[in-house]
Amino acid sequence: MIELKQINQLYGGSQILWDLNLELTSGSLTCLLGRNGVGKTTLLKCIMGLLPVKSGTILIDGKDISRSPAHLRPKLGVGYVPQGRDIFPQLTVEENLRTGLAGRTDGSKKIPDLIFELFPVLDSMMKRRGGDLSGGQQQQLAIGRALTIEPKLLILDEPNEGIQPNIVQQIGDVIVRLNKEFNTTVLLVEQKLAFARRVGQDFHIMEKGRIVASGEMNNLSDEVVKEYLAV
Ligand SMILES: Nc1ncnc2c1ncn2[C@@H]1O[C@H](COP(=O)(O)OP(=O)(O)OP(=O)(O)O)[C@@H](O)[C@H]1O
């Protein structure tokens, strides 16, 4: 599905990603874990084309997209839920969702019904401005917007940051359902270990811009947690 080979990235003179390799198979549900500042968001932005890679290759279904512009990612079936949600506060819920439709390859102007099935609150708030929604509702909107292209690969950057527990539970259920029922490949950056253990099948842990541990979530040991994740 997606393969990263020898990715290097720098902000000015400081190198953030170091010869990073990562491969996600189709239909997998992978959590990318790591302490603050190890480069998780930077890596997602490189995958999305929002930051240029200095060197290395990003392949999606075998196609090299390392140097292709960000706006082509949705056309390749990649949906993205950025850290901090980045919804448009002045636009209505409906308008926010419609911005996502621009990434569809079939030109459809219809918001898929599945989004309202997964997040009924969005249906009841279609005419409300995004900025008037609660944090949890905004997060549901951000995920809904990413789903408008019916992505093959869904990338989420800390979707539970600052969200109330009942919505965290709901977001977890949605992620698992998308993966199981629609075979959506999921890459999830997550700080909450309990949540990652609940939804994730596989994990990769980053430290100082490299992947330092990987495996099945069931095999994520307390020793590894202590070494790379405990604060
Ligand atoms: N725009 C930027 N310019 C310079 N340095 C940056 C920029 N954005 C991030 N960094 C630095 O790059 C490093 C990696 O940041 P990144 O946000 O990718 O980490 P992260 O693992 O996602 O952390 P968090 O969990 O806190 O979001 C950090 O040292 C950060 O300070």
CATH number of the CATH domain containing 103: 3.40.50.300
Asked if the model's pLDDT at residue 1 lies above 90, the reply is no
Q: Are 210 and 18 in contact (CB under 8 A)?
A: yes
11 C-beta closer than 6 A to ligand 1: yes
- Domain of residue 105 covers 27-49+72-228
Q: How far is CA 110 from CA 116, 142, 149, 183, 221, in A?
A: 12, 17, 10, 22, 45
User: Does residue 59 form part of some domain?
Assistant: no
Say which residue the tokens 């996502």 belong to: 100
9 C-beta closer than 6 A to ligand 1: no
User: Does residue 139 form part of some domain?
Assistant: yes
User: Does residue 116 form part of some domain?
Assistant: yes
Our mutation pick for probing the ligand 1 site, out of 8, 35, 41, 81, counting the most ligand atoms within 8 A of Cβ, is 41
User: Does residue 61 form part of some domain?
Assistant: no
209 C-beta closer than 6 A to ligand 1: no
User: Reduced to 3 states, what is the DSSP secondary structure of residue 186?
Assistant: strand
User: Does residue 8 form part of some domain?
Assistant: no
User: Reduced to 3 states, what is the DSSP secondary structure of residue 151?
Assistant: coil
ipTM of the complex: 0.94
pLDDT tens-digit map of 56-93: 999 999 999 998 899 999 999 999 999 988 999 999 99
Asked if the model's pLDDT at residue 219 lies above 90, the reply is yes
Report the range of poorest mean pLDDT among 146-150, 154-158, 160-164. 160-164
Asked if the model's pLDDT at residue 231 lies above 90, the reply is no
40 C-beta closer than 6 A to ligand 1: yes
33 C-beta closer than 6 A to ligand 1: no
pLDDT for 30 equals 98
Domain count of the fold of the chain: 1
Q: Give the separation between CA 79 and CA 159, rounded to whole angstroms.
A: 13
pLDDT tens-digit map of 182-201: 999 999 999 899 999 999 99
User: Does residue 126 form part of some domain?
Assistant: yes
